[in-house]
Structure 1
Amino acid sequence: MESRTRNSVKNILYAVTGQFFGLLSSFILRIVFVHMLSRNYLGIDSLFTSIVSALSLTELGIGSAINYSLYKPLAENDVEQIKALMKLYKKAYILIGIVVFIIGMLLVPTLPFFVHSKNIQHLDLIFILFIINSSISYFYSYKKSLIIADQYRHITVVYTYVSFVIMSIVQGVLLVVTKNYVVYLLIMIFFTFIQNFLISKKADKMYPYLLEKDAKNLDSKTLKLIAKNTYAMSLHKIGGTVVTSTDNIVISKFSGIVEVGKYSNYQMVINALNIVFGQIFNSVIASIGNLGTESNRKLKNNFEKIFFLSFWLISFVSCCLYMVFNPFIKLWVGKFFVLKESVLIAIVLNFYIYQMRRPVLTYRDALGIYWYDRFLPLIEAVINVGFSIILAKHLGILGTLLGTIISMTCLNLWIEPLILYKYGLHSNVFEYYRVFIKYTVTAIISVVIIRVTSIFVLWNISNVLLQIIINIILCVLLYNMLFVVFYHKDAAFDYALGLLEKIAHGIIKGRS
């Protein structure tokens, strides 16, 4: 059996490579989109994506709960238990897909409340197509989770991104030919079905016993554990979905659909990065969960190393975003779509805080300790939506983003690690708080130094592409130089370098 580290590195390499090509095709498709369709359609695309994402609440975290239950039988090669779990998974996801479609159809009459523009044809049909795309994704996707839980996420990544790139090409060509948004959405539905169908067939080949019809029912003890974890995860799911999916809805209501379109360009980049980071952290969840079935002795030490490496990557990417985001948007889709620097700072800060929570949440998910902070997401959602609406009335997009920042800062940044350290790592959490503050302060100092240097270097340079290139060079050289100065004596620094060497070796050799 391949080692946990090797599987994790392979999963990360495939995820980052796949997302690179996915992001590249998305950028090109967005250029075609804004030239072939009106600005209103860009806002509609983002708004309906957010509404449909909110409908994923019907999943209620059952997928995560079952995934956690899969780690032990996979480690022990308990085929009968795996078959029983997948039987439950299939029934649950088919039901969820049907419920998503029904709820989505019930929402059609409410669309005028969110969309005030009368310049969009076939608005109801467009929303229905979004609903269909979301609902059909549940009918085959449950088998993907088995592959991922078995530490072979890289296999699903290949199917996902090859399908996405081909879809983007087809959508771009048909947009140029037809200039029809409905055709664009029909292609999306087709590829959603094909992608999940092919991954399902791959799972059948990897695990032939999935085709057997004699799967037993789960025992009452396992069902109670899944029910308990599902209840806890459902609360996390509700809070998390409200926080991540309401921004575009609030912006549309108080600032208009065109502003949603502007923000969506930034959001597209952020979402792509979130997917990359999500793939990276999800790539190690199965390995952590597998480790947890054997021993907890190394968990805290491993967490501290992963947290350090995560901070290095997250803070560096955040610095790059701040330095190049606005000139990149200007070069990519035009000056009209550039947002104020205050909004940019809020976007980057939101990204940094959210990603810095990832290591804690990754370990929480891997260890299955959803229960102890189950009500936290609901409180976060109330604070987020409340502040977002109040501030959006006066500050527009900036107010919406500040609402999210306030909710995460007041609650998540200190309660989530408290739960992990108490119930998962069985250690004192104050060391985590101290390290988090130290990391954040040094990141801010580094960004300020780079920003001042950039102003000095670029004071007489007006070429946007040259500005982007110089800022990237400054980030790569200065930020990492400062990072080494700050942390070269840190115990986790050697681990980070060692892991980077493994990744580089895997790239050079074409394997890991």
Structure 2
Amino acid sequence: MESRTKNSVKNIIYAVVGQVFGLLASFILRIVFVHTLSKDYLGVDSLFTSIVSALSLTELGIGSAINYSLYKPLAENDVEQIKALMKLYKRAYISIGIVVFAVGVLLVPTLPFFVHRGNIHHLDLIFILFIINSSISYFYSYKKSLIVADQYRHITVVYTYVSFVIMSIIQGILLVVTRNYVVYLLVMIFFTFVQNFLISKKADKMYPYLLEKDTKKLDSKTLKLIAKNTYAMSLHKIGGTVVTSTDNIVISRFSGIVEVGKYSNYQMVTNALNIVFGQIFNSVIASVGNLGAETTGKLKDNFEKVFFLSFWLISFVSCCLYMVFNPFIRIWVGSVFVLKESVLIAIVLNFYIYQMRRPVLTYRDALGIYWYDRFLPLIEAVVNVGFSIILAKHLGILGTLLGTIISMTCLNLWIEPLILYRYGLRSSVFEYYKVFIKYTVTAVVSVAVIRLISIFVLWNVSNVLLQIVVNIILSVFLYNVLFMVFYHKDAAFDYMIGLLKRIVCGMTARRES
């Protein structure tokens, strides 16, 4: 158990550090992008990324279902079962890659519905390159999942972010020299292949038995479990993909491709943070899965501590986003890309709600209880798209984002924890609801106080850099002071402080050694 905890902490540290470097590379590359290509290309880049993400529906949750099936054989070192599962994984993902390419090519004639060609050259070719990049990622990535399930995510993080940083440098240089978006995409395809190929070779070294040809057949019980979980996860996948991938499509349709480009700058930051939080919570999944496989005790206590830690981190980051986002965009890519205050609030609120769902979803996935809320994502998708389209006609980007907020608030925030508590933690969910409301109210009050103080302090300050510095200081200092005032008597607060001390002491000890 101790080694698993160490691996989880290591995975989190590597994920955060890697994403910091990845984010810096993305920021610099975006500056080069907006100065070498037109706003239309920025919008197309975001739109096609969303469409390709929607094509990931063909994966249908197969990966998550097989990952769940890997936890027990990994814990028991059942090599034959692992080999059989990985053989199934390989066949499934190669088939998915082929289907993604075929469906993508069939979508080419529909592109004029989503975007006017305008000043964009080779639009069909650009979309096909996006499809190629997506499809080839499936041919080797299945082995990456084994490394992650075995709690060695930090290894894949190194390959991912080193590759990404090198790719960004080369793309930036070639954009300056050629100003050619097609060349930019060709580099992306090359590095997608290389990254997945190298991770695959690393997996072969870590698990030499993957190269063995003799593989037993999976028993009917395991196949039925995978089929059941795949069906449940496919519904989650469909709903989740519709919710996360349709915003840019709706914005493009009702507000124009240039507005998609503006929103994409905010999206780049929130997506980067989503990846960081995703890495953090995914690093926890294997530990929770193993805990659930070994014992049913302490799960609820463990979840409550994780939820408190998550709230502190998510609410603090949300506060910083709200205070710094617009001045940062202004100084980063220019005032022309700044969105209205109301849209900013909707972006931050979307981020906060989505991230606050993460602890519940992490435990749900780790415990394999996808089945009980399998139809929820489909209902969420219908509500989300329906409200987004209706409101986008009248409110533009703001309406699109409000549609997502409405669907998450009316459905996910109360049904998902109900399922977790009933079938996973096996206790009453009402205490969770009370805690969630308390957490959210204190976060809103804290951010409102900090915003009012910021307005007073920066009343006559026009220097954007100074605004950013002051808002960062106010957010970091005041938010955490208010947080301590509200929660210093909570048992979870003592646990959090103790955990932070252990992490700092561990890092100090490693430096001294």
Q: TM-score range by the shorter chain?
A: over 0.9
Q: In the aligned structure 1, how far is the partner of 2:423 from the partner of 2:39?
A: 49
Q: In the aligned structure 2, how far is the partner of 1:133 from the partner of 1:508?
A: 42
Q: Structure 1, unaligned stretches of length 5 or more? A: none
Q: In the aligned structure 1, how far is the partner of 2:506 from the partner of 2:138?
A: 34
> Structure 2 length as normaliser, TM-score?
0.99
SS in 2 for 1:116: coil
What residue number does 1:25 align with?
25
| Aligned structure 1 segments of 4 or more residues deviating by more than 6 angstroms | none
What residue number does 1:136 align with?
136
Please list the CA deviations of residues 431-465 of structure 1 after superposition, one character each: whole Å capped at 9, or x if unmatched: 00000000000000100110011011111211101
Preserved CA contact (<8 Å) 1:67 1:146: yes
Which amino acid counterpart does residue 195 of structure 1 have in structure 2? Answer: Q
SS in 2 for 1:215: coil
Please list the CA deviations of residues 256-302 of structure 1 after superposition, one character each: whole Å capped at 9, or x if unmatched: 00000000000000000000000000001000001111101110000
What residue number does 1:288 align with?
288
Kindly state the Cα deviation for residue 174 of structure 1 after the two structures are TM-superposed: 0.4
Kindly state the Cα deviation for residue 3 of structure 1 after the two structures are TM-superposed: 2.3
What residue number does 1:344 align with?
344
What residue number does 2:474 align with?
474
Kindly state the Cα deviation for residue 320 of structure 1 after the two structures are TM-superposed: 0.3
Map 1:141-290; keep pairs closer than 5 Å: 141-290=141-290
Q: In the aligned structure 1, how far is the partner of 2:2 from the partner of 2:220?
A: 33
SS in 2 for 1:293: helix
What residue number does 1:13 align with?
13
Map 1:71-470; keep pairs closer than 5 Å: 71-470=71-470
> Structure 1 length as normaliser, TM-score?
0.99
Q: In the aligned structure 1, how far is the partner of 2:509 from the partner of 2:349?
A: 37
Which amino acid counterpart does residue 242 of structure 2 have in structure 1? Answer: V
SS in 2 for 1:119: coil
Moved more, 495-504 or 228-237: 495-504
Please list the CA deviations of residues 466-512 of structure 1 after superposition, one character each: whole Å capped at 9, or x if unmatched: 10011000011000000001001101011111222233234334489
Q: In the aligned structure 2, how far is the partner of 1:449 from the partner of 1:341?
A: 17
Preserved CA contact (<8 Å) 1:117 1:257: no
Which amino acid counterpart does residue 150 of structure 1 have in structure 2? Answer: D
Please list the CA deviations of residues 158-189 of structure 1 after superposition, one character each: whole Å capped at 9, or x if unmatched: 00000000000000000000000000000000
**Identical counterparts, % of pairs:** 87
Kindly state the Cα deviation for residue 2 of structure 1 after the two structures are TM-superposed: 5.1
Preserved CA contact (<8 Å) 2:117 2:123: no
Preserved CA contact (<8 Å) 2:369 2:423: yes
Please list the CA deviations of residues 346-366 of structure 1 after superposition, one character each: whole Å capped at 9, or x if unmatched: 000000000000000000000
CA RMSD of aligned residues (A): 1.0
What residue number does 2:38 align with?
38
Q: Structure 2, unaligned stretches of length 5 or more? A: none
Kindly state the Cα deviation for residue 118 of structure 1 after the two structures are TM-superposed: 1.9
Preserved CA contact (<8 Å) 1:13 1:503: no
Preserved CA contact (<8 Å) 1:74 1:82: yes
Kindly state the Cα deviation for residue 4 of structure 1 after the two structures are TM-superposed: 2.4
Alignment size in residue pairs: 512
Preserved CA contact (<8 Å) 1:229 1:371: yes
Q: In the aligned structure 2, how far is the partner of 1:85 from the partner of 1:399?
A: 44
Q: In the aligned structure 1, how far is the partner of 2:490 from the partner of 2:378?
A: 37
Kindly state the Cα deviation for residue 311 of structure 1 after the two structures are TM-superposed: 0.0
Preserved CA contact (<8 Å) 1:174 1:184: yes
